[in-house]
Amino acid sequence: MFIDRVKIYVKAGDGGNGAISFRREKYVPNGGPDGGDGGRGGNIIFRVNPGDNTLLAFRYHRKFVAENGGNGMGGKKHGKNGEDVIITVPQGTLLKDPETNRIIFDMAEADTYVVCRGGRGGWGNRHFATPTRQIPRFAKNGTKGEERELLLELKMLADVALIGYPSVGKSSLLSKISAARPKIADYHFTTLSPNLGVVSLGEGKGFVAADIPGLIEGAADGQGLGHEFLRHTDRCRLLLHVVDIASVEGRDPKEDLDMIDRELARWNPDLATRPQIVVANKYDVMPQDSPYLEPFVEHVKSLNRELFFISAATGEGVKELIARVGEVLETLPPLTVYASEITPEEQAQKGMAGEKITTITVKDGVYYVEGQWLLNFMGQINFDDYESMQFFQRVLQKNGVFDRLREAGIQDGDIVNLYDFEFEFVN
C-alpha cells in the first residue's frame, strides 16, 4: 500500500519542576536553599530516511509524545532531561498546517527539523536566594512542551518524471534505464505507486527518475489513480511524456498526448510550461502503414518539443534518449524546495515559538486575562507566600499585563481573573 498524505499529532515533553529544598546538616550553619532545577522536556524531531518512499509507517501510528523532564531534587540535583522523539520520513516530505494547508517546512531542505521544542525545566529555589530573601519557599515549575497537529505530504524528489497513459511502457522504460524493478504487466494500473530509479550517466553523474502511474482523462478530478500521484510531478525538472506510438490498444497517440497535457495543466498550471521530451515507445512493433505516425510527428513539432522513438522492450533508442536527458538537465534549475508559508506570529499561536501572547476579554464586568505563557508562569507561583506573590506581580508588570488592562478600560476595584485566580485591580 502506498500512502503519501497523512495527519498526525505531536507533542514535546513538559519541563520538570524545580525543587524547594533546604540544606540541613549537622555542623553546617546557614545551609540555605539547595533545590535543583527540573530537566528539559524532549523535542519532536523529524529526520530524513533515504530508504523510505512512502508514509505507510503512519497508517496506524499517528500520535507522538516526547518524554517529560524529571523534577529537580534537593542537594542541587538536576532533573533528567526528557528523551527526544525522532520521526523518520522520506526525503521530500512537506510538513503542513492541516487547518490552512500551508507549508511549515520542506524536508528536502534539511535532513533534520525540530518541529516542537520541549518545555524548559523550572529553577529550584536556590536561584531565588538574595541577601534580603534568604529562605525562598518557592520554585519554578517547568513550562509546557509545544504541541500541534501536522499534515505530512510526500512530494518525491526526482529530476525526471515519466508520465503518460497507462500501459504505454513507463515502467518498462524505468526498468531499462535504472536498477528499479517495478511490476510490469499488460493491463491498466499495473503500477499502483510511484517508483524511483537512479539513472547513471557515467563519470559519477546521473539523475533520479520517477514513474508516475494512473494518469487518465479526469485525473485532476480524481479519476483513476492520478489524483493520488500528480503531486509527485511538482518537483520534477523535466517531464518524459511516454506515448504508445504503435497504438496497441487502438488509441490515437496524438490524443493521448493532448489529454495528459490538459490534466497536468489543470492540476498545476506551472506544469504546462515544464520542459518536456516526447518519448514514442513501442516503435519496434509499430505498423509500417500506421495512420497515426505522420500527424503525431507534425503535432509534436508544433508544440516545439523534442521527439525520440524508442523500444523499452529491445532498448532501441534508449541510450540516445538518456544522453539527451542528461544534457537538458544541466541547463535547468535545481529541484524545487518549498519555502515556509507560516509567519513567525502564526508559529507562536500554534505553539512553535516563544512569543508571549496575552488576550484580555471583558464579561459581566470581570477582566479575563489569558495566555499560554501566563498559564505556565502561574504554575511557578506559591500564592500563599508573600515573596512569591511579589515576584508574580513584578512579572505581570514587566510583561505589560497591567498596561493592557488599563488600555481595556479597567478601573480601581474591578475584578481581574487569571485562570480562576481573582484579585481587585488597584491603579
Residue 238 confidence (pLDDT): 93
Which distant-in-sequence residues (6+ apart) come within 8 Å of 16 by Cβ? Answer: 37, 38, 39, 40, 41, 68, 69, 70, 71, 72, 79, 80, 121, 122, 142
Cell readout for 124 is: 529550584
Give pLDDT, residue 338.
80
Q: Which three cell numbers stand for residue 236?
A: 520534477
Q: Which residues contact 213 (CB under 8 A, 6 or more apart)?
A: 166, 170, 171, 189, 190, 191, 192, 193, 194, 225, 229
Beta bridge partners of 94: 106, 153
Residue 41 CB burial class (10 angstroms; 0-12, 13-18, ≥19): buried
Residue 362's contacts (CB-CB under 8 Å, 6 or more residues apart) are: 368, 408, 409
Angle between helices 293-302 and 253-267 (to 10 degrees): 30
Distance CA 284, CA 416 (A): 84
The three three-digit cell numbers of residue 85, written as one number: 522523539
d(CA 361, CA 364): 10
Q: Which of 287, 312, 296, 284 is nearest to 162 (CA)?
A: 312
The reported pLDDT for the residue numbered 73 is 93
| pLDDT for 310 | 94
Point out which residues pair with 113 in neighbouring strands: 46
What's the CA gap between 249 and 146, in Å, rounded?
A: 56
Topology of domain 356-424 in CATH is GMP Synthetase; Chain A, domain 3 (3.30.300)
Question: pTM of the full predicted structure?
Answer: 0.69
C-alpha cell at 263: 490534466
**What's the topology of domain 1-155?**
Spo0b-associated Gtp-binding Protein; Chain: A, (2.70.210)
Q: Smallest Cα–Cα separation from 162: which of 180, 144, 145, 150?
A: 180
Q: What does the alpha-carbon distance between residue 325 and residue 30 come to, in Å, rounded to a whole number?
A: 80
CATH 3.40.390.10 assigned to domain 160-329? The reply is: no
Tell me the residue type at 116. Answer: C
How many other C-beta atoms lie within 10 A of the C-beta of residue 222?
10
Quote helix, strand, coil % in the chain, to nearest 5. 25, 25, 50
Domain boundaries, the chain: 1-155, 160-329, 356-424
**Backbone φ, ψ for residue 84 (5° rounding):** -70, 150
Q: Which amino acid is at 261?
A: D
Alpha helices in 198-317 (DSSP H): 226-229, 253-267, 293-302
CA 114 to chain centre: 10
Per-residue confidence in pLDDT tens, the chain, 427 aa: 456 789 999 999 999 999 988 887 777 667 788 899 999 999 999 999 887 777 888 988 999 999 999 999 998 899 999 999 999 998 889 999 998 889 999 998 889 999 999 988 988 888 878 777 778 887 888 888 989 999 998 887 788 989 888 888 888 898 888 875 655 445 444 444 577 788 888 877 888 888 887 565 544 444 444 455 666 677 889 999 999 999 888 889 999 999 888 888 887 888 788 899 999 999 988 888 889 999 999 999 999 999 999 999 899 999 999 999 999 999 998 887 888 887 655 665 555 444 578 889 998 889 999 987 887 778 767 777 777 788 888 889 988 899 999 999 999 889 999 987 888 988 7
Enter the DSSP assignment of 355. -
Identify the pLDDT of residue 114: 93
Identify whether the C-beta of residue 165 lies closer than 8 Å to the C-beta of residue 251.
yes
CB 358 within 8 A of CB 369: yes
Burial per residue of 301-333, b for 16 or more beta-carbon CB atoms within 10 angstroms, e otherwise: eeeeeebbbbbbeeeebbeebbeebbeebeeee
Three-class DSSP category at 169: coil
Report d(CA 309, CA 253) in Å as an integer: 13
Bridge partners for 162 per DSSP: 211, 240
The three cell numbers locating residue 347:
508559529
